[in-house]
Chains A and B, each alone.
Chain A
Amino acid sequence: MRHDLDQGRTSRRGLALFGFYVLAYGGFMAVAVCRPDLMAKKIGNGVNLAIHWGFALIGLAVLLSAIYMFAKGKDE
């Protein structure tokens, strides 16, 4: 069973990607809570930071999951 559990543990790479996403997600929360005025700032295309960051979090989730899938596929 111990062996199974070891096998079941996620790779360091997965956790590193996860940590990166946590930083992006936590940063979004921190800015929304501590500096709400920054969220209203327009940053390109006339659209504010809140919208850009929201889209970026969605895009990043897709990107990181794809990287993880390809990397694990290569390992195997």
Chain B
Amino acid sequence: MLPSSSTLAIIIFFAFAGLVLGISFWLGRKAKSAAGYFAAHGEIHWFVNGIAFAGDYLSAASFLGICGMIAFYGYDGFLYAIGYLAGWLVALFVVAEPLRKLGKFTFADALDAKFGSRAIKTTAALSTLIVSLFYLIPQMVGAGVLVKPLLGLPQEAGVIIVGCLVIAIVTTAGMVSTTWVQFIKGMMLVVFCTILVAMILCRGFTEKPGDFKKIDAATFAALPGERLVDGAVWSDKKLSRIKLGDGQVQTWKQLADGYVLCQTLNKKAELVNGLKQTVANDLLPVGSILDLPGDAKEAKNLSPSEFLSTLQDSTVLTWPEVRIKDPKEGEVCVYVPTPVKGETLLTPGGLPTFKALKDKEFTVGKLDFISLMIALFCGTASLPHILIRYYTVKDASAVRKSTVVGIAAIGFFYILTLFLGLGAMASGALDPSNNNMSAPLLARTFGEWPFALVCAIAFTTVLGTVAGLILAASGAVAHDIITGLLGHDLEEHAKVKAGKIAAVVVGVLAMGLGILFKDMNVNFLVAWAFNVAASANLPALLMILFWSGTTKQGVAASISVGLISSIGWILCSKEACINLYGLTEKAAIAPFSQPAIVTIPLAFLVLVIVSLATKKKTTSITQN
């Protein structure tokens, strides 16, 4: 859908974003040394750090991505929320305190504390850089998605604006400034989403059966216009097209008992239903309740459980996308109105990737679900931008307290996302071509103020997370690669300067990747980052902490194999084939999309084998 912004929304947006940035710069103006720049001198209060954990973690994926997935596919979006939160327990119970005691500024510090090995430092730094970049992509995509409807600018402009602002934040005051951006944004996100959910519960649901227009075969046969002779790519999907006198092309989907009128979008040619996409000729907003339980036409002022049970017993009109690769017109996205029972939407298996969960038999598709849940569980404790936050508080007790505050804030927010997503599903405001915009479009149904505030909060959400990621990546370059690998023992001032230069380079790189991946769901992209982080970092981290037989060669090999195998798997997956290379899913080599179930055990195995092999060698040399 084309952007439609208002002056009020733009003013609120800039005022809010400016206020957050101003406060963060003012509070972060003292950081000058490396300890201040990378770890805020370890002086952040545990409560502030805990909320900053939430601000750092609740990225564009959590806010825009999860809400969008729930709004379009139901419960499966919530699966991500469950997995994202569960991962925090690995962080708290297993990793947090030992890591805090071993490290100084970065994740590589902790891994290398026992061995003092250049190979470990290099692989850990590379892993930090790559994972941070993977995680940066969806944040930048989310930024572009936000700016498009709010400011009426192209998606690329949003990516560049966020990139420049974050580089400014990170290069001015480092971790202190970043922490305050994350704290303010974390608080605002939780408070405002609570208010929004209260508004959703009060509004409840209203039946709109008129949104689903179905005609019988005889009526379809009598429709005026030229019947287009399309190839198998259309007829295989039971789609028929009729060209009207004004050039508009109607696309009808054949069902068992009639035909339904679809909407089409050709993104490259900018055509909606065959005509040039304009404000007057655009995709219609979607998402409505066709049938409420019983004879009710509306259900208002609902409690949370009433909201869920009402939706569960209703019928919802969804608009799944079918992509047609027409030899003459290129790729055309067809949005097919499809009534779905609420009980189906509120159980796992709605997302195309997880549809196998609806099967009674065990199929390969179910491995995708298992693999994703493992990746989310193991990934949090391996994310470099989360791990560096263990160094910003004064002691282990503060680490624990801030992690618990973070878990409580994040858990509460994830419960809210279910209501936000389901509220959006029935809001009648969704853009069928872009599920990432579901939360802001939902807010717009309550007025321009909520819309502008949601966009501003989401924008600072992206700022906070991107700032943390760029800081982690710049720490890896300045502290681990320049000092550890190249052996240049930089002075405090030079180390900070190197970190800032690295932040600029990583920021620019992230902008380019954000533009390249702009059409993918941000939540799906983040899940890939979790897979890479869990495969590359977690096996090495756990084995160093819990197995005395671990050797430096084993650690370096494990990180390398985890990194290469998980990225390789992702690049050969169905989603990469469709969204990156423009191929069909048949071209995919990887049997399922999420690699963690294979690549995490592989990294463990490599660590054990290499450690045993190199330990034996060391022992025999000693004996000789």
Contact = CB atoms under 8 A, between A and B. Distances in A.
Interface of A: 1, 4-5, 7-10, 14-15, 17-18, 21, 25, 28-29, 32-34, 36-37, 39-40, 42, 45-48, 50-51, 54-55, 57-59, 61-62, 64-66, 68-69, 72-73, 76
Contacts of A8: 97-99, 101-102, 545
A8 B78 CA distance: 34
B563 interface: no
B101 A4 contact: yes
5 residue pairs, one from A and one from B, having the closest CB atoms: A46-B309, A8-B98, A18-B93, A45-B305, A14-B93
B89, B343, B415 pick with most chain A CB within 10 angstroms:
B89
Given A36-B348, A54-B78, A62-B408, 7 more contacts: A21-B86, A36-B357, A46-B308, A50-B75, A51-B75, A58-B414, A61-B85
A32 B93 contact: no
A17 B93 contact: yes
Contact of A40 (B343, B369, B415, B545): B343
Contacts of B347: 36, 39-40, 48, 50
B93, B101, B377, B404 pick with most chain A CB within 10 angstroms:
B93
B277 to A, nearest CB: 38
B404 A33 contact: no
A58 B93 contact: no
B89 A64 contact: yes
A45 B302 CA distance: 13
Contacts of B485: none
A32 B404 CA distance: 28
B360 interface: yes
Given A8-B102, A36-B358, A57 B86 contact: yes
Contacts of A9: 98, 545-546
Contacts, number: 139
B349 interface: yes
Contacts of B397: 72-73, 76
A61 B411 contact: yes
Contacts of A51: 75, 308, 346, 418
A69 B400 contact: yes
A29 B369 CA distance: 8
Nearest to B101: A8
B94 A65 contact: no
B101 A21 contact: no
A46 B97 contact: no
Contact of B404 (A1, A42, A65): A65
Nearest to B344: A40
